Structure formats: C-alpha cells, structure tokens
Amino acid sequence: MKKNELEAAKAALNDGTESAKEEQRVWANVPELEKIYIGRGEARKALLRRKKIGINLREKVLKTEKKTEETQKVVEQKEIHTSNGVIQVMADWSKLPDEIWRLIVKRLRLIEDYVRFGGVCRSWHLITLEKENYSCSELPWVMLTENETSNIREFHSIFSNKVYKLYLPDIRGRRCWGSSHGWLVTVGTDREMNILNPLTRVQIPLPPLHKCPNLKKLICTPKEFRNYFVCKAVLSSNPSDPNCIVMAIYSDHRKMAFTKLSGKAWTPLECSPVWLEDIVHLNNYFYAVDSFCNVLVFDCTGSHLKTIAFTMLQEEREMDYEAKYLVELGAEIYMVLRCLYDTRIADTPYLKTWGFVVYKLDLCSEKCEEVDGLGDWCIFLGSNYSFSISASCADSKCRKNCIYFTDDYYGMYNRQGSYDMGLYDLDSCKMEPYIVEHVSHYDYSVPLWIRPSLW
C-alpha cells in the first residue's frame, strides 16, 4: 500500500471521519492471505501498526510463520463450497500440535467436558488418556435407578441440571454402591462382586464374599443375597492405587471384612455382633460406627485396635429411628445422625428424613461435640461412601453448610411413589426435596452419589 494511502487512512482514523466507502477501499487492498489472520474491523489498525514499525502486513505474517512452522500446519486451508456458491476458507484444527491441546485439556474442569473432548477424534482421545493432563474437579452425580427395559443408566448433575446417559449392561440387575473415587461396587444374583468404572466400563472382579471364613452356612436365595446380604461396600482409595482396599458390611449388618484388589479372599474383621452402619477410611485406618454410636478402629491389616464409646451420644439418643454415617471433613472424622420418622399408613413402616445432627469426633480424647454447621463444606450421604466437598473451591458449585442425601434403604420398605432424598440446609434447618422423575420397580436399585473419574 502506498505511503499517501496509509497517511490518508491514518488521518481518517484519528479524526473519526473515514467513510464506509474509504474503509472498504482500504480493506480491498489487503491481500487474501492476510484476511485469514485479521478481522475486517482490525484492518486499518493493523496496517497503521505495520507502517509504524516499518514492515508491511504480509512481511509480518511470513515472519511469524517462519518462527512457528507447526502453526503453519494449523492454517492449512480447506475450501468449503456453500449452496449459494460462496467459498469459505476454514482452518484444519486437527493439525494443531499436541502440546497446545494438552494445555487446553488441563483447563477443563468438568468431567463431562473432558469426555466430550476425547470423543471428537482419535488423536484427542489419546490425549485424554494421559493421566498427567487430567485435572477435573469431579463434582458428584446422582446415579438414578434402573430401568427394567434398558441397559442405559442415567446420571444427573444437580449442579448443571443435566442428565447424562451411559450404556452400562454390566450393572443391569445388580445392586450398586457409589464412591468418591469414581467407581461402583456391584453385587448380583450370581453372588459375584465387582468394581466398575461407569465412564470407562473397566471392571475388576472381587473375591467371593459368601466364602468368607467367618460364615458357617449361607442361607438365602440369589435374589436375597443381592438385595440384602451385603449392607454396604466402600473403597479406601481410587483403584489405580495398588493399596486400594474394599471394605464391606454384610450378613444383616453384623459382620465386616476387607480385601485388596489383588487379593484372592476376604479377610474377616473382629467386631462385636451389633448393627454396623457405616465405614470411612482416613490415614491408613478404617473407622466403623455401630447402632450405639461406638466407633471401631481398624488398621489396614485388619487388626481391631480399639472401640471408642461416645457416651454423650448414647445418653442423648431419644429418636426412635436414626441412621449414622461417618465422613472425613478437613482431615477430621465427623459423625452424622440422620433423623427419621415413621409415615406408615399400614403395618409396614416407611421412614422419611426430617433433619440431621452433626458431631465432630476427637478420637484421641474420645470426646465429641455437636457442631452448628459445616462452614464452607457440604456432605454427601446415601448408598455410597460418605464424602465431603469444599464449597469454597472455584469449580464446586455446591451449596455450603448443606447435606445432600439419597435414599439408602431406610425409606425403601414401602415406597410412596418417591424416594427419601433431598438437600438439608444446616443454616435454616430446612429440607429441600430432590425430585426423581421415575421410581425403580426393584428394591435393590436406589439413587446413589458418585464422583465420576476416568481413573
């Protein structure tokens, strides 16, 4: 472009009097290759900037391409002919260097975005399989109940209010327990136990629990085994950890056993024959709570170290129905009491939640204290490993000082067309229902929490 034309364009830009016709003339003098790199509205500014530094726009583009040869592949032009005869030039983004895509993947915070990214093409999928690129926040989903006519299971994110459908024939007809590590523990009428990742469909078999040494004789049908024999099953860590342990409460809530993923048998734990309700793992120790609010402590070898009797909780217990959970929150153990009432309209009880009471446990002094709230934390309870999430994290989108809960058999005796699940706000002491569109026809299939993960 000639010097006088640049000066005229510059003067017009400074005084704001340049006409649309003059703008079009300036743009018409920009070579077609350069139009790929700059927007029409930036044409004049770009030309003036190049004049200022003493090089024209074409020279600037060529210089940039010489410095980044791989970037030149990105703008490999594709001509797309539209119905009206217009030719559009588009960049081939698949040729972008993998290093750039890795930087992009590391910025994906939601697991659903990560999975979508990997589904675009094979090269992008391979990048998502590199564990060092994975940094998703793993916000919880609710796995909804089984549909008797489909192998599709639905997962609902209460934070995005979206439902994701996954093809999971391996868990059809099986009872499941969720975890905070992205895997499900499953039990079927074949009396086999497995752990399964619903996103990758990787499945790992577990030793047969019904052959545990502390069982003399198993008297139950295959359906009873699936529905009632195993009361709760949890993972100590992600199965990618070689030291991952599966712990189970079974046989009418009376027995406990554990196994490693590489183990060939279950190891029974020594515990008093009382009703066991929940298990949590922290710092290489397992903690279990029974119906009398006693906390049993085990190490990872299965040795029963001690039983802590929280007498204050035993003296204050005045409720007819309550469920107990243990949850790790900020490297501390908390006990949560779920207060239930009987809404029976017949002889069969139907329990509904009306509130929660939270206690912080001091395992060293063997004392506990009731807490008014959870601060920035929220807790997830149900037919899953009880876990907590900090609501102060940028990506959590969780409501702080709240308890999210699902039905975990305490209200499953006589369903009234809905599940006992919702959100309890500890600030207002109010309950907010969580609506499930369909109710399962199977007693073994209940909604549960899971934090999805690819590992």
Letter for the amino acid at 241? D
Encoded tokens for 92 = 């081939």
Domain count, the chain: 3
Same domain as 230, residue 356: yes
Is 85 within the bounds of a domain? no
26 Cα distance to chain centroid = 53
87: exposed, middle or buried (C-beta count within 10 Å: 0-12, 13-18, 19+)? exposed
Same domain as 118, residue 17: no
Is 92 within the bounds of a domain? no
21/25 Cα distance (integer angstroms): 6
pLDDT of residue 454: 81
Letter for the amino acid at 154? E
Same domain as 340, residue 298: yes
Encoded tokens for 409 = 């058999």
Same domain as 259, residue 196: yes
Encoded tokens for 193 = 């136990």
Is 113 within the bounds of a domain? yes
Per-residue buried b or exposed e for 126-136, using 16+ beta carbons within 10 Å of the residue's own CB: ebbeeeebbeb
Residue 3 has phi, psi (to 5 degrees) of: -65, -45
pLDDT of residue 72: 46
367-371/304-309 β-pairing: unpaired
Same domain as 273, residue 194: yes
Same domain as 68, residue 26: yes
pLDDT averaged over 10-residue windows placed end to end, the chain, 455 residues: 49 47 53 43 48 48 49 47 56 73 79 80 80 74 83 85 90 88 92 93 93 82 88 88 90 87 88 85 92 90 88 69 91 92 66 90 91 92 90 74 83 57 92 73 81 83
Is 296 within the bounds of a domain? yes
pLDDT of residue 436: 64
Predicted model pTM: 0.75
Encoded tokens for 362 = 């001091």
pLDDT in tens, 157-174: 877 778 889 999 999 999
Q: CA-based diameter of the chain, in Å?
A: 100
pLDDT in tens, 408-455: 764 444 455 567 888 999 999 999 887 666 666 677 788 899 988 887
Is 234 within the bounds of a domain? yes
Last residue of a domain, one of 83, 117, 133: 133
94/217 Cα distance (integer angstroms): 61
Sheet holding 321-329, edge to edge: 321-329, 332-342, 351-362, 367-371
Look up the domain containing 106 and give its range: 98-133
Same domain as 31, residue 59: yes
Q: Helix, strand, or coil here: 397?
A: coil
Cα dihedral value 53, 55, 57, 61, nearest 10? -100
Same domain as 271, residue 179: yes
Same domain as 315, residue 259: yes
Same domain as 402, residue 374: yes
91/72 Cα distance (integer angstroms): 10
Is 272 within the bounds of a domain? yes
pLDDT of residue 100: 83
pLDDT of residue 202: 93
Is 81 within the bounds of a domain? no
Q: Quick one: which of 287, 280, 355 has its CA closest to 323?
A: 355
Q: Would you list the DSSP string of 152-214?
A: EEEEEETTTTEEEEEE-GGGTT-EEEB-TTS-EEEE-TT--EEEE-TTT--EEE---GGG-TT
Which residues make beta-bridge pairs with 327? 334
Which residues make beta-bridge pairs with 334? 327, 360
Last residue of a domain, one of 133, 160, 177: 133
